[in-house]
A and B are shown apart, each in its own frame.
Chain A
C-alpha cells in the first residue's frame, strides 16, 4: 500500500489545495466502513452489489429450476420443503421471481451503476478531490443497508410475492397474497430506502458535476461516462419522488391504524366492495390503475437509469480500446438527453392492456416508438467508433462489443412492445422477459463487467486476470444468449410470465424441453459469475501490478495514482482537451493524448512514462 502512503505525503504537502482533506490518521472504521471517501464508498457499493448479484442469481436459478423441472425436488430450496415432499410451493415460486427482480433491480443494477461506478468515477473523471457532499455520499451507501435489511426481513416473512411491480390489490390487501403481510410492508420500506439512497446520490452527483469540475473541464469536454451519470442523476431526481410517494400511498392503504391515527387509513388504490379470501368487503373509491401510472412513471425512467451510465462507460472503454475518438461525441450526448427526456413520457406502454383510456395508448405508442431513434443513433455511433480503429481484443473490448450487440437485440425487440396492437398479444409473455433481460442484463451488465475490468487497476492498483476474464466473458455470453434468446420464441408462442407450472395449459405443454435448455444455459451463466467473483477477489491481492495509466487512456482518472490516495490527485489536474483524442495526428509519438497533458507538440510527459506506458 505504498501508493496510499505517497498520497498521504502529497496530501500533507498540499494542505492548501485540499483543505477539506487535511492530513489525519484514519482508524479502520473511518477508512473502510464509515468512509466519506468517494472511492471507498464506490467500492463498498461494488462489493455489495456483486454479493447481491449472486443472491439474485440464485433466486433466478430457483425460478428456472421450477420451469424446467416442475415440482421436482429443487437443489438448495427443495430441502426447505421436506414436509411438502420437497416441492417448492407456488407461493414460494411467486416469491422467487419477485425477489429476483427486486434484488437485481434495486440492489444490483441501479446501485452498481450510480452507486459503485458513479461514486468512484465522477470525482476522478472531472478532476475533483471528492464529492460535493462527502457525508451525504456516505449516507447514500448506508441507506442501502436498511434497504437490504428490509428485503431480508421480507424474506423472513416469506418474501414479497406480488411481483416487483407490486400491483395492488394483490400487494395491498393483506389477505390477497401469501406474504402480503409484513413481507410486503418490508418490501415497500426497502424500496423506499433504496430511493432515499439514490436520491442522496443523485443530488450529490449533480452538484459535483456542475460545481467541481477541474479547470478547463467544460461540459463538452466531459467523458460520456460523466454525461451518462449526470443525465441519470437528473432522471432519478425527477422520477424517484413519484415512486416514493406511491410507496407511501400504498403503505397507508395497507395499514388500518388505530387510535388517533385512525383517519390515516387511506384507499388510494382500493375500489369499494372487493372481497378477497373471505375477508370483509373493502371500503373505498380508489383506483388500482393509479398505482400503475405512478409506479411506471418512475420505473420506466428507471430502465434508463439502469442503462445510460453503462452506455457512457462503454463509450469511453470502446474509444480507448479502438484507439480512436468516439464517433459523434455531441450526437451521443444529445441522444442520451433525448432518451432521458422521452423516457418520461413513455411509461404508459407498460399499461396498454390495463384498461386505461385507449387514446392514451396511441400517444404512448408514438412516444415509445420514437425513443428507439436516439438508441439507434447511439448504436450507429458505436459501430462508427470501431470503424477504422485498431482494436485490441482484451476482456474489456469483448464486453463492449457484447454490450453493443446485445443492445441491438434488446432495442429491436422493444419495437414489438411499443406497437400497441402487437403488444396486446405479447404483453406479459416471455418476449417481454427476453427483451428486458437483453437490455438490463445483456447490455448493462456486460457494460459493468467490462467496466470492472477496465477500472479495476485504478481501484486496486492491479490488473484482473485476462484469461479468466475471457473465460468468464465467453461462458456468460453463451449462457446468456442460450438462456434469453429462446425466450423470444416462448413469448411468440404465448408463454406467459410468472407461471409456476405453465405446462398445465395445453398450448404450452410442448415447451418444456426448450425451457430445460434455457435453464441449463442459465446455470452456465450463473456459475460463470463465480469466475468473475474469484478473479475479482484474487486479483485484488494477486493481480499484476498496474501503473497510473495501464490502458493508455485519456481521462483524468488515469492521471491520478493507482489507487488514488485520499484527495485523489497528487498534482491538481487541469483539463486541456476533450477526452477522446486518441491517434491524434498532432501527437506523432503516442496514440493517446491525455486531457491533462499540457503539451501541444510531440513531447513525452514524464509522469505518464514513469507509471504506465508499456
Chain B
C-alpha cells in the first residue's frame, strides 16, 4: 500500500466534505399565489431590481435615506475631494462608525446637508478609518466644496441585521415574510411584516405601529405565542437596532407589495397568452411588446416607475412618521372606572349585547372564544369572495381564533390600558373591530373590568391552567 494512495484518499474525502460554499444570504422576494404569481415574470424582475436598488441584500443592505428609519449617523464636514473619494472631519461621530470596517459601510447612505449637493444622498462604497476617507459608489454630480456638511447613516441597519439574523430570522424569514425555517411549526405563525400591519399597537386604528409599541412587544414577548420576551437577551440599544431593521423590512415589503399590485393590471402573468388568443398575434411578439413597454415604464421619469415608487414611498413615509406622533397614541379620556361588581355587570351586558360591541358574536357568551362567527363562512375582503374554511381570518389570510378570555392570557398586554386600546381601536389586521365610535370611554372601561374578571369568575368554567395542579404546593411538590 503506497503512501500516495493514502494521501490521495484523504485529500479527496476531505475536499468532498469540506466543500465550503459561498454565503447563501440572499434577500427573498414575494412568491405568494395571490400577490406575486399573477404578475408577469418580467415585471417581477423589474420589482426585484427596484427593491435591490433601494434596499439591497441582507449582507449589503442599503440605507435609503428617504425612509423614516433611524439608520444611525455620523455628521461631518468635507475636507478634501479626490474624484469619488472624500476626506472628512467628523463633527459628531458615533463610536460604532469607528469600529466598522470598510465593507461594513458599503451601501450606507451619505446625505449632504449643505453646499452644492444639499439634500442629495449618495451611496458609499466604503470607509477607510486610517485617513478618514469615504469612497462613493457613484460619481458626484457637482464637486462638494470644503466645509460642506454631510450625514452618514447605516450602522444601525447593519447591526440590526446581524441581530435579526441571529434572533429573529429563523422564524420571521430573511425578508420578514414570516416564513423562516422554524415558522411552519408555530401556531400562530410568525408575523409577516410585508403588509406593514402589526397587531398590538397603542396607536389609533388607522395608524401604523410605533417604535415604542414594537419595543414593548420585543421586551415583553407575546404571551400565548412563540414570540419570546427578548429582554434581557437584547440590550436597550440592540432593541432599537432590531426595531429599525424590522421597520426597514416592513417598508421594503410594503413597497414590494404595492409595486406588484400596480403592475398586475398591465403586466399580468397570462397577458401574452390572452392577447395572443384575442389578436391572433404570436406570443413572442407580445412578449417583445411587453418587454418594450416595461422598458419605457422604467425609463419614464414623470409617469413611470420612479414616479410610482416616489408616490408609494411618500405615502409610506408619512404613514410611518405619523405613528411616532404622540397624538395618534390612544389615551383614555377618563380614568378607569372603579372595578366594582356593578361595573363588571354593566360590562357583561355590553359584552353580550348583539347590537353594541358585538363581542359575543365572536368571543361567545362566556368569553371562551366560541361565538357563532367562528362557525360561519367569512367574507374575504381581498378577493370579494368567501374563505374556503369556516371561521375568522386575518389580513394575511390565515384562520384566526377569537381570544379565549377565560385563560387569562392577553397577547397585547394585560394592563387595563392595553385592553382598553384593544377594545377601543380593535386589533389591526384582524376582524376585531374598533368600538370607540359606538361606545363611550366609560363603557369601554366597564368592558375592560368585565374582561379582566372573566378568568376569576367562579360562574364560568375553571381556567384550563389550574387543572394541571396536582397536590398542595406547601405539602407535596414531589408527588411522584
Contacts and interface: CB of A to CB of B under 8 A. Distances in A.
A178 B20 CA distance: 28
Nearest to B16: A76
B465 A273 contact: yes
Interface in A38-90: 58, 70-71, 73, 75-76, 78-79, 81-87, 89-90
A275 interface: yes
B10 A84 contact: no
Interface string A201-226: 00000000000000000000000000
Nearest to A278: B187
A289 interface: yes
B174 A84 contact: yes
A84 B170 contact: yes
Given A91-B182, A178-B185, A275-B464, A71 B24 contact: no
Contact of B464 (A79, A273, A358, A527): A273
Interface stretch (A384-392, A416-424, A530-538): A530-538
Nearest to B171: A89
B237 interface: no
A92 B14 CA distance: 24
A84 B169 contact: yes
Given A73-B24, A85-B24, A530 B182 contact: no
A538 B24 contact: no
B165 A527 contact: no
B23 A73 contact: yes
A160 B143 CA distance: 62
A82 B24 contact: yes
Interface string A274-308: 11011101000001010000000000000000000
Interface in A430-480: 465, 468
B478 interface: yes
B478 A91 contact: no
A161 to B, nearest CB: 10
Contacts of B166: 70-71, 501, 504
A272 B24 contact: no
Interface residues of B, number: 48
B304 interface: no
A277 B21 contact: no
Contact of A355 (B407, B465, B477): B477
Interface in B1-49: 1, 5-6, 9-10, 13-14, 17-26, 28
B58 interface: yes
A468 B1 contact: yes
B252 to A, nearest CB: 15
Given A71-B165, A92-B181, A279-B187, A534 B6 contact: yes
B468 interface: yes
A356 B478 contact: yes
A241 interface: no
A79 B9 contact: no
Contacts of B1: 465, 468, 538-539, 542-543
A289 B480 contact: yes
A75 B186 contact: no
A579 to B, nearest CB: 32
Contacts of A175: 185, 187
A344 B153 CA distance: 66
A468 B26 CA distance: 44
A75 B18 contact: yes
A445 B19 CA distance: 28
B224 A278 contact: yes
A357 interface: yes
Contact of B17 (A70, A76, A79, A501): A76
A373 B180 CA distance: 52
A271 interface: yes
Contact of A273 (B17, B28, B226, B467): B467
B413 interface: no
Contact of B180 (A70, A89, A504): A89
Contacts of B467: 272-273, 281
Contacts of B437: none
A91 B181 contact: yes
Contact of A79 (B21, B180, B181, B187): B21
A89 B170 CA distance: 6
A281 B461 CA distance: 14
Interface in B145-171: 165-167, 169-170
* Interface residues on chain A, size class: 35 or more
A85 B58 contact: yes
Given A81-B181, A90-B182, A538-B1, A527 B24 contact: no
Interface residues of chain B: helix, strand, loop or mixed (majority): loop
B5 A91 contact: no
B479 to A, nearest CB: 9
A287 B480 CA distance: 8
B478 A357 contact: yes
Interface in B176-209: 180-182, 184-188
B388 interface: no
Given A75-B20, A79-B21, A527-B13, A84 B224 contact: no
A514 to B, nearest CB: 20
A87 B170 contact: yes
Contacts of A273: 464-468
Nearest to B469: A273
A82 B26 CA distance: 8
Contacts of A355: 477-478, 480
Nearest to A91: B182
Contact of B28 (A76, A83, A539): A83
Q: In this complex, which of B24, B26, B173, B186 has the most chain A Cβ atoms within 10 angstroms of its Cβ?
A: B24
Contacts of B225: 278
Contacts of A89: 170, 180-182
A274 B468 contact: yes
B478 A87 contact: no
Contacts of B26: 82, 85
B334 interface: no
Interface string B39-83: 000000000000000000010000000000000000000000000
B181 A75 contact: no
B468 A272 contact: yes
Given A534-B9, A542-B1, A271 B470 contact: yes
B233 interface: yes
B478 A358 contact: yes
Contacts of B173: 84
Given A71-B165, A274-B468, A468 B6 contact: yes
A71 B58 CA distance: 14
B24 A86 contact: yes
Nearest to B179: A83
B122 to A, nearest CB: 28
Interface string A519-560: 000000001001100100011001100000000000000000
B61 to A, nearest CB: 12
Contacts of B174: 83-85
Interface in B451-480: 464-468, 470, 477-478, 480
A395 to B, nearest CB: 14
Interface of B: 1, 5-6, 9-10, 13-14, 17-26, 28, 58, 165-167, 169-170, 173-174, 180-182, 184-188, 224-226, 233, 407, 464-468, 470, 477-478, 480
12 contacts: A75-B18, A81-B181, A82-B24, A84-B174, A86-B25, A90-B170, A271-B470, A273-B465, A277-B186, A355-B478, A538-B1, A542-B1
Q: Which A-B residue pairs are the 8 nearest by beta carbons?
A: A273-B467, A86-B24, A89-B181, A82-B24, A178-B185, A89-B170, A85-B25, A273-B468
Given A90-B170, A504-B233, 4 more contacts: A89-B181, A91-B181, A278-B225, A527-B17
